[in-house]
Structure 1
Amino acid sequence: MLRLLAGDSVELLSRELGLPVFKLEQWRQKAEAALDGALKERDADAAEDGQLAAALRRVGELSMENELLRSRMERPGPLGRRRSR
């Protein structure tokens, strides 16, 4: 099969292996379809990985903002907590 995908002659392989040409052509079509499917799946995985990385970055940014706001609330001043008198 690898020789067929590499470009060897279908007729030559048919004679060497004792298989009909149509069977080799069927196998090649199935192999090409499987390769196409695997490549599309890999592209989808890469896109999902990028989206996940962006989401994790955003979660990190929001966590930092929350920590900064919490620390500002602990200090006296306009954003600090008011004590009851």
Structure 2
Amino acid sequence: MTLEHPMSADPLHPAKPSSSQPGTSEGGRRPTGEEPAAAPPDVPQRWSSRRKAEIVVRLLKGESIGALSRETQQTAAKLAEWRDAFLAGAEAGLKGRPEQDEQEAFDEERRRLQAKVGKQAMEIELLYEHCHKLEAGLPPAQRRSKR
């Protein structure tokens, strides 16, 4: 009779627990031909934005993220992601109408540029007059003191 030391087993290849039913392994792959496990009938496979918002509102009202995670079969990280996106959207909604803000910025920029073009047009006119006087041999205009 040979006794084997408990630590003499290969540490890199531990013994796998045997399962009494096929396909009930802990993690890993399903046997070929086995159908994927279906979600319970009350848990949707796809989540609409309205359903996500309802879950997030429940989170914000104080329900446990763990309980909601178990109920919805979504990870806590996914629920936190939904919450963060919901709050970011709410913040953007409170900033005002983006079309109005964009239109006001556009109008302000247009007024600024029109004033600049007007000023440049006046400067060009004065320079043309000055050039014509120089070409005609007239002395440049004398500036007077502003005292």
TM-score of the two chains, using structure 2 as the length reference: 0.31
Match 2:104 to one of 43, 53, 78: 43
1-side partners of 2:108 and 2:96: how far apart? Answer: 19
**Percent identity of paired positions between Structure 1 and Structure 2:** 13
Q: Name the residue aligned to 2:123.
A: 62
Q: RMSD between aligned alpha carbons? A: 2.7
TM-score of the two chains, using structure 1 as the length reference: 0.50
Q: Can you list the C-alpha shifts for 1:7-63, whole angstroms capped at 9, x where unaligned?
A: xxxxxxxxxxxx78x77xx8xx87x93861110110000000000100111111011
Structure 2: 5+ residue stretches without partners: 1-49, 55-85, 141-147
1-side partners of 2:138 and 2:119: how far apart? Answer: 29
List structure 1 runs of 4+ shifted beyond 4 angstroms: none
Indicate the structure (1 or 2) with the bigger Cα radius of gyration: 2
Which structure would you say has the larger RCO, counting Cα contacts within 8 Å and 6 or more residues apart?
1
Aligned residues: 55
Whichever structure has more helix as a proportion of its residues is 1
